[in-house]
Structure 1
Amino acid sequence: MQSTTIRRAVAQDADRLTHLIQASGAYRGTYASIISGYRVTSDYITRHQVFVAVDAAEQLQGFYALTLEPPELDLAFVADAVQGGGVGRLLIEHMLGQARAAGLSEVRVVSHPPAEAFYRRLGAVRVGTLAPSPPKVSWARPELRFAID
């Protein structure tokens, strides 16, 4: 993996984060409806713990958003071009560190179904299933929890 840095997102990152979501190959076909029209706003970045992974040239590799109340991994995306290279693991490990620093005991994840195995490999435990909520979400979603030690 080339040099990757994780830094706090700033308001000016909003359009790049939105573009990363909209370009995600994981949300084509069946899952496209959940991101249709979704935008990351500068206000969202200001209100939540949003961190980006960038390379030495400041190219966006991925990001996550942690909400503290209630504690939840709200968003997590890795650019298609760098998936499988450790960026996702780096982001989740960083998120767990931020959760620990905030004094959280656990973090909830409502997972994109194809991403469940990824979260489980990193230590999340499945605790349930969320029913579909049409029209945007017509499929069941795994609910997982990361315990913060």
Structure 2
Amino acid sequence: MGSRTSPISQTVTIRRAVAQDAKRLTRLVRGSGAYRGKYAAAVAGYRVGPDYIEAHRAFVAVGADEHGGRVLGFYSLVLAPPELDLLFVADEAQGRGIGRLLVAHMQSEARAAGLNRLRVVSHIPAEDFYHRVGAVRTGTAFANPPAVPWDRPEFEFRIPPE
């Protein structure tokens, strides 16, 4: 396992995703370590297309390093019904606060859109992350075979006014 860079040693910018990001975001989803083994089927054919990026508020975290603007993670906010649809951080960027940064940005975007709560159906291995970033467990999203053959925890972010 490689060494992890501290959050301070790399500048991270969050910007709106554009159609040209689609292939990189798809690779990030399909290559996620959280979806190996029994979870692999859930993302095997998953595609984040330019149409998806246009239809939703998708944002990417980009690292300014020696490789130029590398995509370190992204999220997608759906306004109606209010939901955090996707949130992924590249395996090699985990543990650096990128996910926390994306959640804070998402909450700011949700607040600006007039939302005061936001649903999240979590991947089972991400449950602890959502607890740590302030989401409240509200129930269970039941299995939907064949796409998702297991129950998943359901959370809610409560978005306080500024």
Give the TM-score normalised by structure 2: 0.90
Inter-partner Cα distance in structure 1 for 2:158 and 2:35: 27
Q: Does 1:117 align with 2:132?
A: no
Instruction: Name the aligned partner's letter for residue 74 of structure 1.
Output: D
Aligned counterparts of 2:58 and 2:14: Cα–Cα separation in 1: 10
CA distance in 2, matches of 1:3, 1:120: 26
Select 2:112's aligned residue among 89, 96, 101: 101
Within 5 Å, which residues of 2 pair with 1:1-149?
A: 1=7, 2-56=10-64, 57-149=68-160
Instruction: Report the CA distance between 1:25 and its aligned residue.
Output: 0.6
**Deviation for aligned residue 1:136:** 1.7
Between the aligned partners of 2:148 and 2:121, the Cα distance in structure 1 is 12
Q: CA deviation at 1:33?
A: 1.4
Q: Deviations over 1:61-120 (max 9, x none)?
A: 000000000000000000000101100000011000000000001010000011111111
Cα deviation for residue 132 of structure 1 reads 1.0
Deviation at 1:139, TM superposition (A): 1.1
Q: Secondary structure in 1 aligned to 2:83?
A: strand
The DSSP-based 3-state class of the residue aligned with 1:132 is coil
- Higher-Rg structure is 2
In the alignment, structure 1 segments of 5+ residues that lack a partner are none
Give the CA RMSD over aligned residues. Answer: 0.7
Q: How many residues align?
A: 149
Scaled by the length of structure 1, what TM-score is found?
Answer: 0.98
Runs of 4+ in 1 over 2 A off after TM superposition: none
- Taking every aligned residue pair, what percent have the same amino acid on both sides? 62
